[in-house]
Amino acid sequence: MAEISAKDVQRLRQIAGVGMMDAKKALVETEGDMDKAAEILRVRGLAKVAKRAGEREANQGSIGTYIHHQAERPVIGVLVDLASETDFVAKHPDFKAVANDIALHIAWGRPGWIRRDDVDPAVLAEERDFATRQAREEGKPENIIGKIVDGKIKSFYETNVLYEQKFANTEKFEGTVEAYVNQLAAKMGENISVRRMARLEIGD
């Protein structure tokens, strides 16, 4: 059994945002493997959040902002409403930082919707019709057109839906925006989600 040092416990606490006993227990379970311990705590944190999601409403939060300047004038502005269950979490520096990170991502990613369920069914139907016509015009066999169209719709979601997009700052986090939000939720132990967003750009 690997020896668990106080330094290791403290480091894991900083990474996962958990208490000393939880950090030590995870390190013991993984025989001192920091990455595996952090993943275990992340999964457990998400499980707790999912269990509590139906118990408390996320009606608190903080507004994330981003302004992009060009030639000494603001040309892009973003507001994002990141919701939490308590104002205590909403005031946490990490929470406010994530809200601003997501605002910056929205400026770059230009998402039209937050979740795939938000997409207008008429828009999806139009995308499916276009993809189907395109596949037939290219002479694709009828028996694979359905799979081709499904792939196009998946790509549409990944391009246009905030939660499906890859987070822009890969140095900070590799994964989707939804996974980035869920990581914060697991760390804070609360239901956290993007509630609203607005993006303005000169000339758009």
pLDDT in tens, 89-112: 999 999 999 999 999 999 999 999
Structure tokens at 26: 């995870």
Domain membership of residue 132 (yes or no) is yes
Same-domain status, 68 and 151: no
Domain membership of residue 1 (yes or no) is no
Residue 46: the pLDDT is 55
Report the domain count for the chain.
3
pLDDT in tens, 109-130: 999 999 999 999 999 999 999 9
CATH number of the domain within which 173 lies: 3.30.479.20
d(CA 129, CA 131): 6
Same-domain status, 152 and 171: no
Q: Which domain holds residue 24?
A: 6-53
Examine the fold and report which residue of 53, 74, 91 is the final residue of a domain before the chain moves on: 53
Query: Is the pTM here over 0.75, yes or no?
Result: no
Residue 51: the pLDDT is 56
Same-domain status, 99 and 138: no
d(CA 185, CA 46): 7
Q: 17: phi > 0 → left, psi -120 to 50 → alpha, else beta; which?
A: left
Same-domain status, 127 and 108: no
CATH number of the domain within which 127 lies: 1.10.286
Average pLDDT over residues 13-28: 73
Structure tokens at 69: 């300047």
Same-domain status, 125 and 111: no
Is the pLDDT at 142 greater than 80? The verdict is yes
